[in-house]
Amino acid sequence: MKNMKTHYSRSHANRGAKLEMLVEMTNNQYRNAWLADIRKVPTPVKILKTEGNKVSGHLDTATWVDYNGIYEGHSIIFDAKETKLKRFPLKNISPHQYQTLKSWHRHGAVAFLLVAFWLEGKNEPEIYVLRFEQLAEAYEHQETGRGSKSISLDFFRENCIRVKSGNGYVVDYLAALNIEAKVKEG
């Protein structure tokens, strides 16, 4: 077997960077206003070697999602995803990420995806909250071969809450969650 090298892909490494920057700005605004405390989960690093102050390693496979925290006494957990397509490919969610969202949802957390569509010719993305229940239906159908391997932008437009700037927040996703209504319902 030949010695295989891993090549650095700048486009792959920066995938999701625009949305994550907007979410980080918003999370800082939420914290400063004492509205919520939601934090980015650091990407795990596998340390290979240490020599004095030098550490060598590589990014490990993420087994968690991007964000978790608390809002009005409710656990929040979500992942931020981006696409330039008019559909959201379900392969963008790893099985570990899906299982984490599923577990937290079953234990009462507000679990969801924040999905940004960066469409050609548009300066701003269309950002939507895809609740776990909606994700689960699509994800499980595609896993069994009974459904599509992606969710169309039209589905998001017709069935999901669009996230916009508002109330002084860059990407006011908490307003789109409508947690009070969810709590009262069940």
Question: Could you report the per-residue pLDDT of 116-160, keeping only the tens digit for each?
Answer: 999 988 888 999 999 999 999 999 887 777 778 999 999 999 999
Say whether pLDDT at 2 is over 90.
Answer: no
Q: How far apart are the first and last CA of the chain?
A: 56
pLDDT score of 22: 93
Q: Can you tell me the distance from the alpha carbon of 142 to that of 127, in angstroms, rounded to the nearest whole number?
A: 23
Is 97 annotated as belonging to a binding site?
yes
pLDDT score of 16: 55
Domains (ranges, CATH) in the chain?
Answer: 24-185 (3.40.1350.10)
Q: Which amino acid, residue 37?
A: D
pTM listed for this prediction? 0.80
